[in-house]
């Protein structure tokens, strides 16, 4: 995966995510919190100012709490999610919020029995191609699969598929790399 898309999930972020998950489940707000968290993560990814607020130690914790509270209120996030953002910020963990979102999303998918897969291709896939791959994967794993697609022109052609920790690399770039290795050994 491209390094820019990788979010590190620290153990601390996982603990915060688990605590929020359990509380949201207890209060019957799991789906709403998942939706709020996803919307917040998308907002952070699209706003350099918000990323700077979360990552920079130049902003005091109180300033981060106030700013994130205002963002949560303006966006209409649930009270529980707004409090979660405040707690993470006041505890000096604002930079772990996106990692907590990744961990929360994984817990939510596991709870629903959904497996996540990432498919990378050299060019954008059509909806029909994505649906076909999703359908084939669902048969293989025996359950629901949520497929995310990424475009990576360096693959030249073919496909890379990641399901959990398993990677199937049938890209032209990988085939050329294997041929190059074999030819060097000859």
The model's pLDDT over 174-186, given as tens digits with 9 standing for 90+, comes to 999 999 999 997 6
Instruction: Check pLDDT > 80 for residue 24.
Output: yes
Distance between CA 169 and CA 76 in Å, rounded? 42
Per the CB < 8 A criterion, the answer to whether 132 and 142 are in contact is no
Per the CB < 8 A criterion, the answer to whether 61 and 89 are in contact is yes
Per the CB < 8 A criterion, the answer to whether 115 and 144 are in contact is yes
Domain extents for the chain?
A: 3-110, 113-185
Q: What is the pLDDT of residue 165?
A: 79
Q: What is the CATH number of domain 3-110?
A: 1.10.520.20
pTM over 0.75: no
Instruction: Check pLDDT > 60 for residue 3.
Output: no
Q: What is the CATH number of domain 113-185?
A: 3.40.30
Per the CB < 8 A criterion, the answer to whether 26 and 80 are in contact is no
Q: What residues contact 156, with CB distance under 8 A and at least 6 apart?
A: 122, 171, 172, 173, 176
User: Burial level of 74, CB count in 10 A (0-12/13-18/19+)?
Assistant: exposed
Mean residue pLDDT across the chain = 92
Banded model confidence at residue 77, pLDDT cuts 50, 70, 90: very high
Listed residue (112, 66, 109) closest to 85, CA to CA: 66
Distance between CA 85 and CA 63 in Å, rounded? 12
Listed residue (13, 1, 114, 6) closest to 54, CA to CA: 13
Average pLDDT over residues 78-86: 97
Q: How many helices (H) and strands (E) does the chain have?
A: 8, 4
Q: Which two tokens stand for residue 160?
A: 């890379």
């Amino acid at each position: 995966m491209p390094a820019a898309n990788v979010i590190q999930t620290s153990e601390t972020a996982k603990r915060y995510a688990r605590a929020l998950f359990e509380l949201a489940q207890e209060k019957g707000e799991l789906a709403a919190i998942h939706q709020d968290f996803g919307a917040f993560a998308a907002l952070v990814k699209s706003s350099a100012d918000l990323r700077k607020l979360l990552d920079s130690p130049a902003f005091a914790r109180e300033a981060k709490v106030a700013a994130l509270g205002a963002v949560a209120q303006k966006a209409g996030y649930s009270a529980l999610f707004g409090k979660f953002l405040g707690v993470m910020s006041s505890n000096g963990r604002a930079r772990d919020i996106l990692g907590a979102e990744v961990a929360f999303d994984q817990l939510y998918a596991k709870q629903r029995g959904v497996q996540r897969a990432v498919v990378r291709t050299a060019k954008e896939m059509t909806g029909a191609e994505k649906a076909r791959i999703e359908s084939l994967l669902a048969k293989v794993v025996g359950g629901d699969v949520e497929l995310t697609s990424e475009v990576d022109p360096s693959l030249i052609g073919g496909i890379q598929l990641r399901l959990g920790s398993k990677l199937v690399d049938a890209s032209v770039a990988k085939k050329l790399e294997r041929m190059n290795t074999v030819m060097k050994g000859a």
